[in-house]
């Protein structure tokens, strides 16, 4: 009795196995063309399919025209499309020093190390024309490049580009500042000169250096 049921069980298992193997069929062997290979299946002979018109990749909708292109209604924006604050300026300074100062130098006069080694010299940022340039224009120059300057859009994310523009504005103000731009509290300190303590500190440091 027991041996018959054993035999039956074995047959059942075999049958199931055969079916399961049979089920693998060709599902695993479907044509899986590699990108840019030819194909006889599609009329245009290409395996890769063109994007459906109007398709937008995730995270690439870029609906905010002013933010992404620096333009509104075909004109460069006069206002920053995002709020400018201290953190943004700090970030802009850091990014400027990394990406722009090699050519434009840290003050923006256009005498960076790359220029000293023969790259065409950019104009100073402190000319009236560039001081009057709209933020949207500067954003556009960074994004797409300008003349002999390469485009930095592919390397610098949108928010960082605006941060750089804000810092460039700060740089421009710094080089054209008058005493009236200095806050009252700082003005007194500036007019009185360095505090005696600060001088002593510096003197001490120098004396220290002499001993070495
Ligand atoms: C590889 C060197 C190089 C780097 C890096 C560089 N620039 Fe320039 N930039 C130039 C040159 C050269 C010009 C002048 C191009 C010309 O007139 O053909 C220029 C011009 C400009 C102008 C003036 C455009 C005008 O209307 O005259 C702005 C603004 C500017 N750059 C901003 C930036 C900013 C911001 C960065 C950093 C994100 C940057 N550049 C990085 C080389 C560089």
- pLDDT, block means (10 residues), the chain with 212 residues: 73 73 67 88 92 90 94 96 97 98 98 97 98 98 98 97 98 92 86 68 45 44
**Euclidean distance between CA atoms 169 and 114, whole angstroms:** 23
> Is residue 206 left, alpha or beta, with left meaning phi > 0 and alpha meaning psi from -120 to 50?
alpha
For the chain, list the domains and their CATH numbers.
65-179 (1.10.760.10)
The pLDDT value given to residue 23: 56
Cα(175)–Cα(104) distance, integer angstroms: 14
**Amino acid 68: pLDDT:** 96
Q: What is the DSSP string of 142-207?
A: HHH-BTTBPP-TTTS-HHHHHHHHHHHHHHHHHHT--GGGS-HHHHHHHHH-S-HHHHHHHHHHHH
Q: What is the pLDDT of residue 209?
A: 42
DSSP 8-state code for residue 80: -
Report the C-alpha gap between 16 and 203 in whole angstroms: 93
State which of 138, 142, 144, 149 you would mutate to test the pocket of ligand 1, scoring each by most atoms of that ligand within 8 A of its C-beta: 149
pTM to 2 decimals?
A: 0.74
Q: Are 44 and 35 within 8 A, CB to CB?
A: no
User: What atom in ligand 1 is closest to the CA of residue 96?
Assistant: 37
Say yes or no: CB of residue 149 within 6 Å of ligand 1: yes
């Amino acid at each position: 009795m027991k041996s018959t049921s054993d035999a039956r069980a074995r047959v059942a298992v075999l049958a199931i196995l055969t079916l399961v193997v049979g089920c693998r069929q060709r599902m695993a062997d479907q044509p899986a063309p590699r990108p840019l290979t030819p194909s006889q299946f599609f009329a245009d002979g290409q395996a890769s399919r063109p994007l459906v018109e109007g398709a937008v990749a995730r995270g690439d909708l870029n609906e905010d025209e002013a933010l992404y292109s620096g333009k509104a209604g075909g004109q460069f924006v006069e206002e920053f499309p995002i709020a400018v604050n201290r953190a943004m300026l700090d970030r802009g300074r850091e990014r400027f020093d990394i990406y722009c100062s090699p050519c434009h130098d840290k003050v923006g006069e256009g005498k960076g190390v790359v220029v000293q080694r023969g790259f065409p010299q950019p104009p100073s940022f402190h000319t009236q024309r560039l001081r009057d340039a709209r933020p949207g224009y500067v954003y556009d120059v960074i994004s797409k490049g300008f003349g002999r300057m390469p485009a930095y859009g592919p390397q610098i994310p949108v928010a960082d580009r605006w941060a750089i523009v804000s810092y460039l504005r700060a740089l421009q103000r710094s080089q054209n500042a008058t005493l009236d731009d200095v806050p009252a509290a700082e003005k007194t300190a500036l007019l009185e000169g360095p505090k005696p303590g600060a001088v002593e500190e510096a003197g001490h440091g120098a004396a220290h250096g002499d001993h070495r």
